[in-house]
Amino acid sequence: MRETGKQLLYSAKKCIGCQACTVCKHDVHTFNGFEHEIDREKCVKCGECETACPTSAVQICGREMTVSEIIKEIEKDAAFYGEHGGVTLSGGEPFLQENTVKLLLACKERGINTAVETCGFYAVTAAVPYVDLFLWDIKDTDDERHKKYTGVSNKRIIENLIKADAAGAKTRLRCILVNGVNADETHYKNVADIKSKLKNCTGADVLPYHAFGGAKAELTGQPDTSDKSMIPDEKQIGLFKSYL
Amino acid sequence: MEFSSVNGIKRPVRLSEATRRFACESLGHKYGLMTKETMSVSLDEIEGFESFTPIQKYDAAIMKIASEAPVRICDGELISGAATLGTAISHQIPATYNGKPVFMSLSHLTADFETVVFKGVGYIRANAEAAYEKYKGTGKEEFAKSCLVCLDAFDIWHKRYLEALKDKGCTDNYNNLCNVPYKPAASFYEAVQSIWFVFAFLRLCGNWPGIGRIDKFLAPFYKADIEKGILTEKRAREILAHFFIKGCEWICGGNYGSGDAQHYQNLVISGVDEDGVDITNPVTYLILDIIEELGISDFPTTVRLNKNSSDRLLYRVAEVMRLGGGVLAVYDEDNVIKAMTEYGYDICEARRFANDGCWEVQVPGKTNFCYIPTDFLQILQKNTLKNYDKSVLFDGFDALYNAYLADVKAFCEGLLSSVLQNNMLKCEDGIWVWRKNIPCTVISLFEQDCVGRGLSYLEGGAVYNVISPHVGGLADTVNSLYAIKKLVFDDKKIGFADLMRVLSENWENCEALRQYALNKYEYYGNDNDEADEICRRFLSDFADICDSLNGRSGYIFPGGVSTFGRQLEWSPQRLACASGRKRGEILAANASPTPGTDRQGATAIIRSYCKNELHKLPVGAALDIRLLPSCTKGDEGLEALVSLLRGFVNLGGFFMQPDVADAEILKAAQDKPEDYQNLSVRVSGWNARFVTLNKEWQDMVIQQNECGCGY
């Protein structure tokens, strides 16, 4: 599981070695000559280094906001929404945040269309009345593989999907395609089966794996696990699409 | 035959094979190169030429051009007439004496094509004859006579085409040119021919007029002909397409600095009429069809949008826009009309607005227009901050701002009085009279009310005479002021004197603070109220300054915001800015954010821009938005583009030119120009074929695309 709270981001490219970040009272930032060393374990995400850093090489990613603060942000773009436009909650996983349903309700009260990208692991029934479209991840229909790559079983995800559908949720399936992992026709067929059982599903999109995660991993100090060999080819993508 | 788009979306095929081939030839420089074969006519043989008055010389030049310019009839063309003298392409009257062009020509105007179509050139002749009778024996006689001479020249040129068409057996074209432009057009086909023929004559004489609201002029003819069953949609599209294709007859390839398609032949489509009724009609959509299919960028076309513009229109505009080329721009006409009426234009006149052939708003066919571009960042750096001399000290932001505003006011007063002195003369009784200017009878014939008043376009003949001071360097000025406010007065990161020193040293040895200024503040274009407020306040104060200078002469001084690419010349001379910019770095275009400072996306740029009281600037303020082709793909991309247009209107914009372009594609075009001959980009009020820009301009466009992608 990834962290759900704030994260300390560091971009070596932007760092000019000015050492302003050593303002930190917890000794997260130390300099060994020009080498900027970061001890993330000690970081309490107070943001003092972020304020001091002139180049924004050090940033605290994540901000606590109230529902009304978020609504204010969303409404800034209200002039652009028209009849079809609106807000898409994304993440991470929006339903990990406890006030997501409140936020969705507040949007609907203001006539703002809502969409939510979800991994489907958490119960969404309470949100269904306030969501115009769920963009629902179906990562893998093979449960063993699902466990291996995501750490959890897919049973709950599929059950949640069926329940949400029964409650009237409009969904669109988002299916990641990873070469060497789930690029097989049994999986394609299973997704098509799930789709055919849904009454309110508007379609399914194939999302080919990409290796752009490396940049983010670098910023958060995590190992880069992205792997270009996992990018599917056009033929695989076409075949998957043909099932959907 | 392939007309390419920036994002691989295939352009539809609706036009005939022959018309598409004609477009390929024209875009492939065939007629441009042909035009350059005869550069100009010679006046050397005219007896006594040197002793002529300027108007006599002018009349002789126009007569000679009309009589001798090559007549060009392209195979299969549906409409006739061509501007066939090469010197006209460089904005001069193509007539020489001793090898040198005799007169400059005119641009930044939209001629009165409405009168041409609905009343005919015959109507103008009748007026000119009446004027001659009226002014005979007065000081206006010479101009009145010149009007008749130029109309005679026009007739000669017209007859030459009729004869040539007859000789060549082009019966349809011949028949279609018999009545027009002399008489009012009687059909759609005649109406298009009429506009084109006058347009071509104006261009043949070296002028670069805009065309204006062509869908409004053609709508009644289209409707009537369809009802009569003598026209089909397909045929109308073909005829109009030839208008577009013939408009490329000055394209010659090669490098031209600011591009080879900059002849101000703007169109304005959609919007309301004099009574406030929406004129959007099938011709509006035919024009969009043609731009979509052929990707011709030579007629920059601006769509007048309002809060009631239909979804159909918005989606069609977005569909054409996303193919790239920057051909389409938009006005928020609600705001434009508001600006003009608040300024004092009659509501019906305001609703008629088009532009000067670029994007500056004017009442077409009635306006003598010029604008004065100025780098307002230079006023801040040089006048107010005295090139960062250590003697300069301000103890608060308002003191600095007020000092700057006083310098701006002094500058505008000086500027306008000198322009005024050049054009007008103050008599002893305090009344301003117009100075003699260069002759310009051909344009005067097609600008109200020159003929009636017996005065040329440049000497008080036009109904409206506009000199528009333009703010350039807006974002850089605002950002500089904002950064000084934050760094010195609010956050106290550095003292005023120290900052002046740092800036005079181009941020040498002060990289941490420079980075702080660059990264820690949200500048104009990010929907940051604090920065945007400085912009709003400044433009509002500037508009008041312009107003305060009004009413002293026959001129009005409405303000505007533009750079038109001049930031390229300005940037090497500007000093470092408190916002972190080093000497020589790129400056902002028009009313757009400085490239690299806009971090919050296209909607934030539009929100920042719309916070300005744009209705106080009746000539306009242009906003450039760069979008990545990949962001406009698919249904979602189309929706996003439509939302952007809708938001622009809802928030009260003025003029926006979105360009869908990819820096990578532009770089590839720089490397292999032969593969990208017709890739066009929006430069400012015009488009340019990218490969015809010189290297500096190309680099600027690339830089703007790399930094300034809204999405």
Is the Cβ pair A77, B515 closer than 8 Å? no
Phi, psi torsion values for B90, nearest 5 degrees: -105, 30
Chain A residue whose CA is closest to B649: A79
Closest CA to B280 of B329, B328, B233, B222: B222
Chain A residue whose CA is closest to B635: A84
Higher pLDDT pick, B678 / A41: A41
Q: Report the pLDDT value the prediction gives residue B708, as an integer from 0 to 100.
A: 44
Q: Looking at the structure, do residues A209 and A131 belong to the same domain, yes or no?
A: yes
Phi, psi torsion values for B681, nearest 5 degrees: -135, 155
Q: What percent of chain B has pLDDT over 70?
A: 97
B125 CA to centre of own chain: 29
Cβ-nearest to B646 among A20, A56, A80: A80
User: Once rounded to an integer, what is the mean pLDDT over residues B350-371?
Assistant: 95
Higher pLDDT pick, B303 / B681: B303
Query: Is A77 a member of any domain?
Result: yes
Residue by residue, DSSP assigns B29-80 as THHHHHHTTS--EE-TTSTTGGGS-HHHHHHHHHHHHHHHSPP---TT-SS-
- CB contacts of A55 in chain B (<8 Å) are 515-516, 518-519
Tell me, what DSSP letter sits at residue B90? G
pTM for this entry: 0.92
Chain B residue whose CA is closest to A83: B643
Say yes or no to pLDDT of B259 above 80.
no
Closest CA to B364 of B436, B271, B258, B492: B271
| Burial class of residue A69, CB neighbours in 10 A (0-12, 13-18, 19+) | exposed
CATH number at residue A228: 3.20.20.70
Domain count, chain A: 2
Cβ-nearest to B513 among A54, A76, A79: A54
User: Once rounded to an integer, what is the mean pLDDT over residues B478-507?
Assistant: 97
Please answer whether residues A195 and A201 qualify as being in contact, where contact means their C-beta atoms are separated by less than 8 angstroms: yes
Spell B508-537 as b/e; 16+ CB within 10 A means b: eebebbbbbbbbbbbbbbbbbeebbebbbb
Predicted complex ipTM: 0.86
| Burial class of residue B165, CB neighbours in 10 A (0-12, 13-18, 19+) | buried
Query: Is A165 a member of any domain?
Result: yes
Say yes or no to pLDDT of B711 above 50.
no
Query: Is A56 a member of any domain?
Result: yes
Q: Looking at the structure, do residues A17 and A73 belong to the same domain, yes or no?
A: no
Residue by residue, DSSP assigns A67-104 as HHHHHHHHHTTHHHHTTT-EEEE-SS-GGGSTTHHHHH
Cis geometry, peptide bond prior to residue B181 (ω within 30 degrees of 0): yes
Q: Looking at the structure, do residues A21 and A80 belong to the same domain, yes or no?
A: no
Please answer whether residues A138 and A117 qualify as being in contact, where contact means their C-beta atoms are separated by less than 8 angstroms: no
- CB contacts of B603 in chain A (<8 Å) are 76-77, 80
Q: Looking at the structure, do residues A36 and A130 belong to the same domain, yes or no?
A: no
Radius of gyration of chain A, Cα coordinates, nearest whole angstrom: 21
Lowest mean pLDDT among A24-33, B244-253, B509-518, B633-642: B633-642
- CB contacts of A16 in chain B (<8 Å) are 511-512, 515
Is the Cβ pair A54, B519 closer than 8 Å? yes
Higher pLDDT pick, B471 / B630: B471
Query: Is A34 a member of any domain?
Result: yes
Q: Looking at the structure, do residues A57 and A87 belong to the same domain, yes or no?
A: no
Cβ neighbour number for residue B253 with a 10 Å cutoff: 16
- Taking the C-alpha atoms of residue B558 and residue B544, their distance in angstroms, rounded to an integer, is 10
- Taking the C-alpha atoms of residue A207 and residue B193, their distance in angstroms, rounded to an integer, is 53
Q: What angle do CA B286, B291, B295 make, to 5 degrees?
A: 155
Cβ-nearest to A85 among B520, B527, B643: B643
Q: What angle do CA B288, B322, B593 make, to 5 degrees?
A: 115
Which residues of A lie closer than 8 Å to B, measured between beta carbons?
16, 18, 20, 54-56, 76-77, 79-82, 84-85
Higher pLDDT pick, B647 / B700: B647
Name residues whose C-beta falls within 8 Å of residue A68's C-beta, 6 or more positions apart in sequence.
A106
- Taking the C-alpha atoms of residue B314 and residue B203, their distance in angstroms, rounded to an integer, is 33
Residue A39: domain span: 7-61
Please answer whether residues A73 and A112 qualify as being in contact, where contact means their C-beta atoms are separated by less than 8 angstroms: no
Segments in B322-458 forming alpha helices (H): 333-343, 347-351, 376-378, 397-423, 441-445, 450-453
Q: Report the pLDDT value the prediction gives residue B617, as an integer from 0 to 100.
A: 97
pLDDT band at B115 (very low <50, low <70, confident <90, very high): very high
**How far lies A70's CA from each of A73, A106, B569, in Å?**
5, 10, 43
Query: Is A2 a member of any domain?
Result: no
Coil, strand or helix at B85: coil
- Taking the C-alpha atoms of residue B368 and residue B381, their distance in angstroms, rounded to an integer, is 33
Chain B residue whose CA is closest to A57: B519
Q: Among A46, A61, A76, where does a domain finish? A: A61
Q: Looking at the structure, do residues A109 and A181 belong to the same domain, yes or no?
A: yes
Lowest mean pLDDT among A58-62, B149-153, B535-539: A58-62
Please answer whether residues B470 and B561 qualify as being in contact, where contact means their C-beta atoms are separated by less than 8 angstroms: yes
- CB contacts of B607 in chain A (<8 Å) are 76-77, 79
Which residues of B lie closer than 8 Å to A, measured between beta carbons?
511-516, 518-520, 527, 603, 606-607, 639, 642-644, 646-647, 650-651
Say yes or no to pLDDT of B707 above 70.
no
Phi, psi torsion values for B153, nearest 5 degrees: -60, -45
Is the Cβ pair B647, A79 closer than 8 Å? yes
Closest CA to A68 of A96, A107, A108: A107
Please answer whether residues B358 and B685 qualify as being in contact, where contact means their C-beta atoms are separated by less than 8 angstroms: yes
Suggest the residue from B332, B516, B638 to mutate for an interface test with chain A (most A CBs closer than 10 A).
B516
Query: Is A192 a member of any domain?
Result: yes
What does pLDDT average to in each consecutive run of 10 residues of chain A (244 residues)?
A: 77 91 95 90 94 93 92 92 86 89 96 94 92 96 94 94 95 94 94 95 92 79 85 93 92
Chain A residue whose CA is closest to B514: A54
Cβ neighbour number for residue A136 with a 10 Å cutoff: 27
Is the Cβ pair B643, A54 closer than 8 Å? no
- CB contacts of B644 in chain A (<8 Å) are 80
State how far residue B486 is from chain A, nearest Cα, in angstroms: 14
- Taking the C-alpha atoms of residue B375 and residue B470, their distance in angstroms, rounded to an integer, is 9
Is the Cβ pair B647, A77 closer than 8 Å? yes
Phi, psi torsion values for B86, nearest 5 degrees: -60, -35
Q: Report the pLDDT value the prediction gives residue A2, as an integer from 0 to 100.
A: 55
Query: Is A18 a member of any domain?
Result: yes
Among B238-252, B421-435, B544-558, the range of highest mean pLDDT: B238-252
pLDDT in tens, B428-459: 777 888 899 999 999 999 999 999 999 999 99
Q: Which residue has the tokens 């390229």?
A: B568
Q: Looking at the structure, do residues A211 and A90 belong to the same domain, yes or no?
A: yes
User: Once rounded to an integer, what is the mean pLDDT over residues B244-259?
Assistant: 82
User: Once rounded to an integer, what is the mean pLDDT over residues B294-312?
Assistant: 94
| Burial class of residue B431, CB neighbours in 10 A (0-12, 13-18, 19+) | exposed
Q: Write out the two tokens for B632.
A: 């406009």
CATH number at residue A15: 3.30.70.20
Q: Report the pLDDT value the prediction gives residue A39, as an integer from 0 to 100.
A: 94
Q: Looking at the structure, do residues A103 and A205 belong to the same domain, yes or no?
A: yes
Q: Looking at the structure, do residues A24 and A143 belong to the same domain, yes or no?
A: no
Q: Looking at the structure, do residues A109 and A154 belong to the same domain, yes or no?
A: yes
Q: Report the pLDDT value the prediction gives residue B270, as an integer from 0 to 100.
A: 98
Cβ-nearest to A85 among B512, B520, B639: B639
- CB contacts of B518 in chain A (<8 Å) are 55
- Taking the C-alpha atoms of residue B95 and residue B205, their distance in angstroms, rounded to an integer, is 9
What are the extents of the domains in chain B? 17-290, 367-618
Name residues whose C-beta falls within 8 Å of residue B526's C-beta, 6 or more positions apart in sequence.
B593, B597, B598, B599, B600, B604, B605, B608
Cβ-nearest to B512 among A18, A56, A76: A18
Is the Cβ pair A54, B644 closer than 8 Å? no
Higher pLDDT pick, B272 / B259: B272
- Taking the C-alpha atoms of residue B594 and residue B596, their distance in angstroms, rounded to an integer, is 6
Chain A residue whose CA is closest to B521: A54
Q: Among A61, A82, A103, where does a domain finish? A: A61
Strand-pair category, B361-362 with A7-10:
unpaired
